[in-house]
Amino acid sequence: MLFDKNAILGFVLLALMFLGFFYFTRQGQLEVEKQQKHIRDSLAMLQPQVDSTLVRVDSVQRATQTTIAAAGQFVAAVNSTEKETTLENEWLKIVFTNKGAQPKLVQLKRYKSIDSQAVKLVQGDFDKLTYAVNTEANRSIQTSDLYFDGGEVTGNEDGSQTIIYQLKDSMGQGIIHRFTLPKDQYMIDWVIEIQGVNSLLTQNSINLIWQNEVRQHEKDITTEKRETQVGFWTKNEYDYFTLGRSSEKQFEDPVYWLSVKQKFFNTTLIAKNNFNSGKIHCSESHDSTGIITASTANLKLQLPAGNSTAVVPLQIYYGPNDYKILKSYNIGLQDVINLGQGVYAFVKYINKWLVMPVFDFFKSFLGSYGLVIALLTIFIRLLTSPLVYTSYLSGAKMRALRPELEVLKARLKDDQQAYAMEQMKVYRSAGVNPLGGCIPALLQIPIFFSLYSFFNATIELRGQNFLWADDLSSYDSIISFGFNIPFYGSHVSLFTILATVTSLLISIYSMSQTPNMDNPMMKYMPYFFPIMLLGIFNSLPSALTWYYTVSNVITLVLQYVIQNFIINHDKIVAQLELNKKKPKVKSKWQERLEQMQETQKRVQQEKNKTSGGGRKS
């Protein structure tokens, strides 16, 4: 397709104007924000100054008095000193605190966050695990407000480590928290033992509060928010919901486990005897805070009646969304990984049974994940090559019938309905299916969607570099603008440009092999889609755009080889002529189609006669 030089120059100037507009607009916004900050600071200086230290001390004193009043027989556990103890294995580092007898800091030692520090799944004051215990009549206190005794680490024969916290009152009633960290696991065991259930708990139930602040760990927070979900196992199957500005889910049925899943990591709370009911609320924060969501779950554990002592077995998973690791626990936890969900749920089977085994096979003897993806692409294209050949063969047959169809079009140019009927007869006579080239292409769409899910969810690609891309799990960026261009983004992805260019070359080659089209929109439509890829693919993982680039190059090679060396055009013409001489047996569908066309033709003829008679009178 050729363009006038002036048109090309116009497009270039227009693009430069847009870039200049967005750049200077952004600079103007920054200047306005700077002025507004100066005004706010000036106004703040005019306000009466309040000693923040005194306010903070007063607030703490009031909170302490309230806590002491609620502590009852556990008042000795209110005023104490916080003590931290660390358990760690090859994969996890967990800092426990005796305040609430709970994890205070959880680090994944093998994974780095955007600040180049270890990924932290628990940190800060918001994260907690707590529940209320009765202290006196009509009084209760949260365990997170009490300082437990103990906290010593014990080594076990299997290499695991156990830490035990206890809280006792003057009557011997109390609570024990026992945490065990295996030597090679991301899953920790948490056992709650309550002595004096009837007096410490209301109606023999624990109302566990689990707060979890999910922080940004990937460079693209928009994608990370989109991939963050709450998953849960209930009624012996997995379900989930995605996050909005404020999301809430009520659980009426027993829940085996509840998971807050980020793009590549998750924190999951598991009740071996099920949570009886509960709810979870998630609130989204602004991108500038670096917080994806803050979730608060209220989960009810109903204990057997009549027992003075109860043992509640729980587990907590702090770790990566690694399919093999999650599957090894045999509780369906691997389903939190989005290999295909919603209307595209069927593609997860393509990923599980085809893409993942082949990917793992190539990974077993190749050190470069870029080469692994290239070989995976070649394998998939070889697998689908019969479909590609069928598509090209159908196109060749259509081109062979072009002269005959052109004669029909010239003869019936004023009667499109008659031309459509005669066109179908030509196809049927020659034994050609006009949809033969479309169906194979449609069958390849599920493969693309499966790979889209796979490359978005595979943690093994995280941090893996290839060529100029420093992380195959995220977009590659050769230029960053510092501002956002609508539909395009704030950066330039070179793999996306290569995917777009190769897609455009495929369209140009295909159009050169396609009959001329009278409809201008249909003529230029094949060129629109490659251009749209610039915006659609720019923020996708570079693994996916690299796959698409390799796939397009293979398509170009296959097109050229099949069209010029495999398909024998003279033989096709001869076969079509032979098909025309064979007796034809109409299918019921063809018969019904012809009847409909004949009916429509007669109706149209009657309309023409009526309108013609009216004009004559």
Question: Terminus-to-terminus CA distance in the chain, angstroms?
Answer: 51
Q: Report all structural domains of the chain as residue ranges with CATH numbers, in order of start.
A: 80-337 (2.70.98.90), 348-581 (no CATH)
The residue among 416 and 278 whose pLDDT is bigger is 278
Whether the Cβ atoms of residue 260 and residue 230 lie closer than 8 Å to each other: yes
pLDDT at 598 over 80: no
Report, as an integer, the average pLDDT of 284-296. Answer: 84
Q: What is the pLDDT of residue 30?
A: 53
Q: What is the pLDDT of residue 10?
A: 44
* Model confidence pLDDT, tens digit, residues 300-335: 999 988 778 899 999 999 999 999 999 999 999 999
Report, as an integer, the average pLDDT of 82-90. Answer: 95
The residue among 180 and 406 whose pLDDT is bigger is 180
Q: What is the pLDDT of residue 522?
A: 57
Mean pLDDT of the chain: 82
The residues near 569 (Cβ < 8 Å, ≥ 6 apart) are: 396, 399, 400
pLDDT at 285 over 80: no
Report, as an integer, the average pLDDT of 363-389. Answer: 90
Across the chain, which distance is largest between two alpha carbons, in Å? 113
Of 88, 102, 94, the residue nearest 167 (C-alpha): 102
pLDDT at 92 over 60: yes
- Top mean-pLDDT range of 33-42, 115-124, 511-520: 115-124
Bridge partners for 478 per DSSP: none
In the chain, the amino acid numbered 265 is F
This prediction has a pTM of 0.79
pLDDT at 615 over 70: no
472/491 Cα distance (integer angstroms): 16
Report, as an integer, the average pLDDT of 466-475. Answer: 94
- Top mean-pLDDT range of 61-75, 107-121, 407-421: 107-121
* Model confidence pLDDT, tens digit, residues 3-59: 344 434 444 444 455 455 445 545 555 554 555 556 556 555 655 554 545 444 454
pLDDT at 110 over 90: yes
347/453 Cα distance (integer angstroms): 8
C-alpha radius of gyration, the chain, whole number:
34
Pick from 145-149, 406-410, 461-465: least confident: 406-410
pLDDT at 347 over 80: yes
* Model confidence pLDDT, tens digit, residues 155-191: 999 999 999 999 988 777 899 999 999 999 999 999 9
Q: What is the pLDDT of residue 304?
A: 86
% of the chain surpassing 90 pLDDT: 47
pLDDT at 380 over 50: yes
Pick from 330-344, 398-412, 498-512, 581-595: least confident: 581-595
Phi-psi region of 161 (alpha: psi -120 to 50; beta: other; left: phi over 0): beta
Q: What is the pLDDT of residue 526?
A: 67
* Model confidence pLDDT, tens digit, residues 57-82: 454 455 456 667 666 677 777 888 99
Report, as an integer, the average pLDDT of 378-399. Answer: 78
The DSSP H or E segment spanning 336 is none
Q: What is the pLDDT of residue 587?
A: 59
Binned at pLDDT 50, 70 and 90, residue 233 comes out as very high
451/350 Cα distance (integer angstroms): 9
208/203 Cα distance (integer angstroms): 14
Report, as an integer, the average pLDDT of 209-227. Answer: 92
Q: What is the pLDDT of residue 389?
A: 75
Bridge partners for 229 per DSSP: 242, 261
Binned at pLDDT 50, 70 and 90, residue 445 comes out as confident
CB < 8 Å & 24+ apart, contacts of 507-513: 508/1, 509/556, 509/559, 509/560, 510/559, 511/1, 513/395, 513/399, 513/563
